[in-house]
Amino acid sequence: MDETPSASGRSNGPALSPETMKRAYRDMLLVRRFEEKAGQLYGMGLIGGFCHLYIGQEAVVVGIGLNMKQGDKSITSYRDHGQMLVAGMTPRGVMAELTGRSGGYSRGKGGSMHMFSREKEFYGGHGIVGAQVALGTGLAFANKYRGTDEVSIVYFGEGASAQGQVYESFNLAALHKLPCIYVIENNRYGMGTSIERASASKDLSRNGEPWGIASRKVDGMDIFAVHEAAQEAIEYCRAGKGPFLLEMETYRYRGHSMSDPAKYRQRAEVEEMRRTRDPIETLKAEMLRSGIEESVFKDIETDVKAIVADAAEFAQTSPEPDHSELWTDILVEA
Amino acid sequence: MASLILMPALSPTMTEGTLARWLKAAGEAVSAGDVIAEIETDKATMEVEAVDEGVIGKTLVTEGTQNIAVNTPIAVLLAEGEDAAAADTVVRSADPTAGASVAIETSADPGIVEAPEVAQAENDRDWGETSEITVRQALRDAMAAELRRDEDVFLIGEEVAQYQGAYKVSQGLLDEFGEKRVIDTPITEHGFTGMAVGAALTGLKPIVEFMTMNFSLQAVDHIINSAAKTLYMSGGQMGCPIVFRGPNGAAARVGAQHSQCFASWFAHIPGLKVVAPWSAADAKGLLRAAIRDPNPVIVLENEILYGQKFPCPVDEDFILPIGRAKIEREGTDVTLVAFSIMVGVALEAAALLAEEGISAEVINLRSIRPLDTETIVRSVKKTNRIVSVEEGWPVAGIGAEICTVAVEQAFDWLDAPPARVCGLDLPMPYAANLEKLALPKPEWVVDAVRKQLRD
């Protein structure tokens, strides 16, 4: 029986060490609380334009992040805040970019959808659906060109998997045996269109088959399952065997973006997912079962709340970019 | 501590809305993500979710209230253990003028921010001895020199390696540099361009060959949205040192889809540089500069010019600056501005005009973006007339830009309205006679100049 009434989901993945579980719990909670705060700031008018929240999908990026090493590269779409936090970018810098301030990663010139970190090997933050797949294949190309064993993690949604360049990329990656892990975050809805209405392929994990791309379908709400699959995929790529495709079955609780009337799905569906499959509650239940004490969670919650509050404060007090920023960074001075 | 729940903005443009329905009442516990109310705007009905856990202490607006401005308090959320009295305290202490809205300081007229100056003209350096080589050889030599110089440079495209280039531009490169650095691709422009841009974001320096620039349209999203904008969007962290090159413009009898000029398309994009060589020296010097440039550079070549011979400096260090035009022929009566194959047409026109006693100055732009406006304006101030010559279509073309530069910066020196000679405003026909009618020729330029002198 589950100790926590809010989650009945039980992991099927192999056990993780208490330290790894604590790190995963902390990282997932950080993403969740960060996104909740971002939603709040958006509601206050402090964040403008488009803002796509990651809430519900935390196990995917955190489970993969546990297996990444320094030098591994990652790239994703516009639903990117979780990826950035897991890449090690600071909550302050990310939140201040959301508010369009000079303390943001792009000094306020990128916004929610466009942030990058050369230092953390995070390559964006891309607003054109599917573009990051070809770009991410190029990151893997660069790894191979330079002769390193670094891999590139390329996140995209099941919606993007309808784009032609995804399959051009699969072909190129398989042809050149590039160390590229393609992660389809299948959250069931491409904006408001369900996967059933958008894809004739019913099993996206098989979408790399024509090119012989190794793949797995994974319970993306279960950090243990994600961790195990990511480990296999990353080892495979590091060994030079070519690309790997992971289909993560996940779910986003919030709308596609903040301005989503959510008329395409029943509220009961969202509530059922939250109640039975929530990735954070599922991990917590496993941790409690393994004997980790309740106080650990309280401490993590307190820490995370403080980090997020600090980021939100910074994002509101950091000054707007100077007018001179308008004309910088258009070209690199040769 | 009790906190206020404010009327949220649920879209980029929402300023007010109607509170249609409360889904939680005072006294009910909520956790983050719970839907507490429904809001209607003129566009949609949306749900308001709690952003924190607590107990609803009090609702401050009734169901059905219309025109509630964004950031108006709509409810009070009590923290664990607080009683309802705390709700009144927080409502009273909320300063209605401060609110939670931010007054974003609107910048003054953006026109007051001066764009930085580009392309300071200076005299061409004398590179000494030259030899006659074709444009094709010049391009090949430029790539070979840069491949030798920098391990991060590689060439990628269709038929560039084993086939030696669809137009034999990459002849011999596979042999010298191997398949790691001279890479054949499948016919997949969108994919390989995106892949090359991704590699460039890590600091590698790809040369992407499009078999012809017509096919760059398959990849134009990556050229514009991924290559040209990432530096800006990343606040200067992530540049994209990449070259996109290939034959541009009409060849001969290849029909509408293979005969068009993309100069104006790419010149429109901030974050790109665009060069268009005419001679072998242009080709070698500009391509070398493009490969070394830390920005994305489009190199518009021309198939008909590939086989033409020109004197080219033999100096191993020969390179040309991007952003600088070259005066190919000096004159005093009219300025002819051209790029790529039209430089030859302009020179022929100048020779014809000379027979009539009209002295034409011919400017070879070399670089389309940045445009060497200084050289153009200086020439116009001397000749008082300007005619632009391009193979591309007239509407929103490079000629429109050049004429605007002349009007904006040398209006008082002009003795005649600036004129454009362009390719005809139609898809390229296949029939030999019709194709000939569609492309600019020296006589058109001569006519344009005669008209300027006559009127």
Three-state secondary structure of B11-72: CCCCCEEEEEEECCCCCCEECCCCEEEEEECCCCEEEEECCCCEEEEEECCCCCCCCEECCC
Residues B303 and B342 occupy one common structural domain: no
Q: Which of B110, B198, B239 is closest, CB to CB, to A332? A: B239
Residue B249's pLDDT is: 95
Which chain A residue lies closest to B154 (C-alpha atoms)? Answer: A145
ipTM higher than threshold 0.95: no
Residues B235 and B266 occupy one common structural domain: yes
Which positions in chain B touch A262 (Cβ < 8 Å)? 46-47
Distance from CA of A165 to the nearest CA of B (A): 5
Angle between helices A18-43 and A294-317 (to 10 degrees): 40
Tell me, yes or no, if B267 comes closer than 8 A to chain A by beta carbon.
no
Q: Do you know the residue count of chain B? A: 455
Find out whether A107 and A86 touch, Cβ atoms under 8 Å. Answer: no
Residue B236 and residue A118: Cβ atoms within 8 Å?
Answer: no
| C-alpha distance from residue A311 to each of A107, A117, A231, A307 (Å) | 15, 17, 31, 6
For residue B390, the domain's CATH number is 3.40.50.920
User: Model confidence over B299-325: pLDDT tens digits?
Assistant: 999 999 999 999 999 999 999 999 999
For residue B10, the domain's CATH number is 2.40.50.100
Find out whether A50 and B12 touch, Cβ atoms under 8 Å. Answer: yes
pTM (predicted TM-score): 0.88
Higher pLDDT, B28 or A153: A153
Evaluate whether residue B426 is within a structural domain: yes
- Any idea what DSSP says for residue B430? -
Evaluate whether residue B118 is within a structural domain: no
Residue B122's pLDDT is: 41
Q: In the structure encoding, which two tokens stand for residue B444, read together?
A: 């058109």
Higher pLDDT, A333 or B196: B196
Evaluate whether residue B41 is within a structural domain: yes
Residues 102-121 of B with CB under 8 A from A: 102, 104-105, 107, 110, 113, 115-116
Domains of chain A: 18-312 (3.40.50.970)
Which positions in chain B touch A254 (Cβ < 8 Å)? 33, 49
Q: Which of A119, A141, A167, A176 to mutate to test the interface with B (most CBs of B within 10 A)?
A: A141
Which chain B residue lies closest to A107 (C-alpha atoms)? Answer: B235
Angle between helices A279-289 and A223-238 (to 10 degrees): 100
- Any idea what DSSP says for residue B123? P
Residues B271 and B393 occupy one common structural domain: no
Residues B304 and B343 occupy one common structural domain: no
Residue A261 and residue B44: Cβ atoms within 8 Å?
Answer: yes
Residue B190 and residue A134: Cβ atoms within 8 Å?
Answer: yes
Task: Please determine, for residue A289, whether its predicted confidence score (pLDDT) is greater than 80.
Answer: yes
3 state SS for chain A: CCCCCCCCCCCCCCCCCHHHHHHHHHHHHHHHHHHHHHHHHHHCCCCCCCCCCCCCCHHHHHHHHCCCCCCCEEEECCCCHHHHHHCCCCHHHHHHHHCCCCCCCCCCCCCCCCCCECCCCEEEECCCCCHHHHHHHHHHHHHHHCCCCCCEEEEEECCHHHCHHHHHHHHHHHHCCCCEEEEEEECCEECCEEHHHHCCCCCHHHCCHHHCCEEEEEECCCHHHHHHHHHHHHHHHHCCCCCEEEEEECCCCCCCCCCCCCCCCCHHHHHHHHHHHCHHHHHHHHHHHCCCCHHHHHHHHHHHHHHHHHHHHHHHHCCCCCHHHHHCCCCCCC
Q: Looking at B258, B281, B313, which one is the last position of a domain?
A: B313
Evaluate whether residue B283 is within a structural domain: yes
B87: confidence class by pLDDT, cuts 50, 70, 90: low
Locate tokens 């039975």: which residue? A276
Evaluate whether residue B117 is within a structural domain: no
Q: Which residues make Cβ contacts (< 8 Å) with residue A313, sequence separation at least 6?
A: none
Find out whether B208 and B260 touch, Cβ atoms under 8 Å. Answer: no
CA angle (B205, B209, B214) in 5-degree steps: 135
Task: Report the percentage of chain A scoring pLDDT > 70.
Answer: 96
B112: part of which helix (H) or strand (E)? none
Residue A131 and residue B226: Cβ atoms within 8 Å?
Answer: yes
Evaluate whether residue B119 is within a structural domain: no
B94: confidence class by pLDDT, cuts 50, 70, 90: low
Tell me, yes or no, if B399 comes closer than 8 A to chain A by beta carbon.
no
Please state, as a whole number, how many other Cβ atoms lie within 10 Å of the Cβ of residue A174: 18
Higher pLDDT, B83 or A292: A292
Q: Which domain holds residue B344?
A: 326-454
Residues B13 and B75 occupy one common structural domain: yes
Q: Which of B190, B270, B295 is closest, CB to CB, to A164? A: B190
Distance from CA of B51 to the nearest CA of A (A): 6
Burial class (CB in 10 A: 0-12, 13-18, 19+), B154: buried
Please state, as a whole number, how many other Cβ atoms lie within 10 Å of the Cβ of residue B106: 5
Residues A190-198: what's their mean pLDDT?
93
Residue A12's pLDDT is: 66
Number of domains in chain B: 3
Residues B263 and B146 occupy one common structural domain: yes
Residues B247 and B301 occupy one common structural domain: yes
Residues B219 and B156 occupy one common structural domain: yes
- Cα–Cα dist B300/B306, whole Å: 12
Reported as half-sphere exposure (CB side, CA atoms, 13 A), residue B44 has a value of 15
Residues B297 and B348 occupy one common structural domain: no
Tell me, yes or no, if B84 comes closer than 8 A to chain A by beta carbon.
no
Burial class (CB in 10 A: 0-12, 13-18, 19+), A179: buried
Q: Looking at B280, B313, B346, which one is the last position of a domain?
A: B313
Residues of B that are catalytic = 189, 258
Is the Cα dihedral B324, B330, B336, B338 positive or negative?
A: negative
B297: confidence class by pLDDT, cuts 50, 70, 90: very high
Evaluate whether residue B13 is within a structural domain: yes
A10: confidence class by pLDDT, cuts 50, 70, 90: low
- Cα–Cα dist B158/A154, whole Å: 25
Distance from CA of B129 to the nearest CA of A (A): 27
CA angle (A135, B269, B152) in 5-degree steps: 40
Phi, psi torsion values for A111, nearest 5 degrees:
85, -175
Residues B284 and B332 occupy one common structural domain: no
User: Model confidence over A47-76: pLDDT tens digits?
Assistant: 999 999 999 999 999 999 999 999 999 999
For residue B302, the domain's CATH number is 3.40.50.970
Q: Which of A135, A171, A254 is closest, CB to CB, to B226? A: A135
Task: Please determine, for residue B121, whether its predicted confidence score (pLDDT) is greater than 60.
Answer: no
Residues B307 and B341 occupy one common structural domain: no
Burial class (CB in 10 A: 0-12, 13-18, 19+), B394: middle
Residues A239-248: what's their mean pLDDT?
98
Residues B354 and B416 occupy one common structural domain: yes
Q: What is the mean pLDDT of chain B?
A: 90
Q: Looking at B72, B93, B114, which one is the last position of a domain?
A: B93
